[in-house]
Structure 1
Amino acid sequence: MAVVTGGAAGIGRAVSEALLEAGANVSVLDKDVAGAPAGVQPFTADVGSDEQVAAAIGAIGESHGRLDVLVNNAGRSYPASVEDGPLEDWHAVFDINVLGYVRATRAALPYLRRSGSPSIVNMSSCTATTGLRRRALYAATKGAIEAMSRAMAADLLHEGIRVNCVSPGTVDTPFIRRLIDEAQNPDAQRAAYNNRQPTGFMVSPEEIARAVLYLADPKAVSTVGSVLSVDGGFGSMRLFDL
């Protein structure tokens, strides 16, 4: 039994579909479940709400008796330098991007402990380790996720619960396509997103989903506390001659 937060759109939807194709029972939590793939059990829930998250995951866990996989994926973007935006906005983004993972994990742990091969996969970002302009807030939340994931892995390993991260590059999601469409020069904006990956093209949501499947695989017993980068070389390569 797998739960995906933010599982009705973008990366989360691709992850939900991949888990379904792998034979898992899948439930998704999302503020808007209209885009949830056929075959999942959708729950309308805001990861910013203790009550909604606890109620949804509790219902899933009690119905199935256990949880095997939790994919913490729900989040929000917020372009900002350190000087931009009221602090209320900063609190709100941290509440979703970091505490949202905490809420879902706390609600899921009693049911993960009933599984024979429990796994938590957290969604990070290349911005956690590579400085990008106007990403101070978002990068800070994703850096927190990577640090928290390693500590969670250390806390939970003795119980057999593996915790890992996926770190995507720029992913060709509906959100990114909307930003492209809204740009003054959509063709130039798409080229900019493609070209900042050394591969020359954006990462597909399906590639991220395959990374999640690997990390959640019960056979990946030695993969724990890791960050799996799927970023087209964005974080590790610079293609220029010295």
Structure 2
Amino acid sequence: MHIMRDIHKSSYRKRNVVIRILISFLFIILPNQLIAKGLQMNEEKELLSRCEEKFNFKQTEEALSLCSKAIIIDPTDENAYNLRGWVKVYKNQFPEAVLDFSSAIKINSKNWNSFFRRSYAYYSLGEYEKSLLDINSSIQLNPNHFDSYFLRSMIYESQKKYSDALADINACLYKDANSDEALIQRGRLYLKFNRSADALKDFDRVITFINPKNPIAFYYRGLIRASYKQPQLTEQACDDFRQAVKLGNEGAQNAILEYCSYNPNY
């Protein structure tokens, strides 16, 4: 019996020694692992910050490289995929951008911005049904985002669903009544319904009260004025086309050739 007790005591002491060694080992290893993980996270954040900085300066190749390095360090960071995808959108690399946004959505399906950005990429590819599904998801997750309604209005317009497009652009203007882009979009949609007087009011509002340097507003106001085929209004239309060209809308030059070629001053 004494022998058995001694054996048990010996085994107990050995187990305690092993446990103490393991605990000591963990106290040494775990902090080092945590430190290494922390350093990796800091490096990844630094790379993403530099990626965003390069993108802000339109240095897209450098931005892509930095974002890709960040993803290698942490392939579970949805923000890295979102940022890299947006750089690709800027470079018109829409199929590749879709893949990045899809990766972000796979990581976090509750981020409205990932759906918004993928919707925009699909829209740019002409895949309007997929774009519509994504923008609906984005709006469901965040019903207060101005640009989501604006994008959906453009999607509906591309699908020739003009009433739906008009409803969404009115939602935009409810949120921001002084958005020149939304007023121009609504003016263009009014023209689809032959509501030229309402469209003219929107373009006038942009030029007179919001942004007198918006070339698109001048161009469309010129088209409406020219459509009345009255000499005085045609002269005003030609002034609008000329101002649109001066502000950077080269397409207005064709309107000048069509409506103002009789006048050597244009």
Superposition TM-score, scaled by structure 2 size:
0.27
Q: Which has the higher strand share?
A: 1
Q: Which has the higher helix share?
A: 2
Larger Rg: 2
